[in-house]
Amino acid sequence: MRSRWIQLAATAALLVSLGLSMVFGGAARLSYQTHGLGLGGTVSKDLPPEMAVLTAGLGSFRGLFVNVLWYRAAQLQEEGRFYEADTLAQALTTLLPGAPQVWLFQAWNMAYNISVATYTPQERWDWVSKGVSLLRERGIRANPTSIVLYRELGWIFFHKIGERYDDAHWYYKQQLCYEWEELLGEPADDPEGRTRLDAIREIAAAQATLAELVRAQPAVTGLLGRLGELGYGPDETLARAIGRVRMYRGSVDARLLGVDLGRLNYDAKLAALLDDAAAAAAVESLLAHLRRRALEDHYNMDASFMAELMTPQDQGGFGYGPLDWRLPGAHSLFWSELGARRAGKVRALDQFDLFNTWRQARFSLQQIARFGRISFDPVTRKISLAPDPRFFEPYERAFVRHMELVRQMPGREGNAGVLESFEEGHENLLLEAAQANYLAGNRQTAEMFYEKARRLYAQTERNKLLQIRRYDLPLDDFILVELRRDLGNNNFAAALQFIDGLITQAILDDLAWGRMDLFERKLEFARRLHNDYNQRQVQTPTQEQARMKFLPFDQLLTEKFVELMTTGQADLLTRARAWNQAPLILRQRAYARVYPEVEAQVKAVGGDVARMFPAPEGVAQGVPAPTPASGSTPAPANLLERK
**48-57 pLDDT tens trace:** 554 455 555 5
**What pLDDT is recorded for position 539?**
52
Q: Is the pLDDT of residue 442 over 80?
A: yes
| Residues facing residue 383 across a β-bridge | 376
Predicted local confidence at residue 284, as pLDDT: 96
pLDDT tens-digit map of 388-411: 899 999 999 999 988 887 777 665
Neighbour tally for 80: CB within 10 Å? 11
pLDDT at residue 365 is higher than 70: yes
Over residues 414-429, mean pLDDT:
78
pTM listed for this prediction: 0.78
Top pLDDT among 208 and 385 is at 208
At residue 319, does pLDDT exceed 80? yes
Average pLDDT (480-494) is 61
Cα–chain center distance at 559 = 35
**Does residue 136 have a pLDDT over 50?**
yes
Residues whose CB is less than 8 angstroms from the CB of residue 329 and which lie 6 or more positions away in sequence, other chains included: 157, 158, 162, 364, 365, 367, 368, 371, 372
For residue 536, what pLDDT band results from cuts at 50, 70 and 90? low
What value, to the nearest 5°, has the Cα angle with vertex 17 and ends 15 and 22? 95
Which residue blocks in 466-515 are alpha helix, DSSP H? Answer: 475-486, 492-504
Does the pLDDT at position 445 exceed 80? yes
Confidence of residue 67 (pLDDT cuts 50, 70, 90): low
Cα-trace Rg, the chain: 31
267-276, 320-329, 416-425: segment of lowest average pLDDT: 416-425
What pLDDT was estimated at residue 402?
82
Evaluate if residue 628 carries a pLDDT over 70.
Answer: no
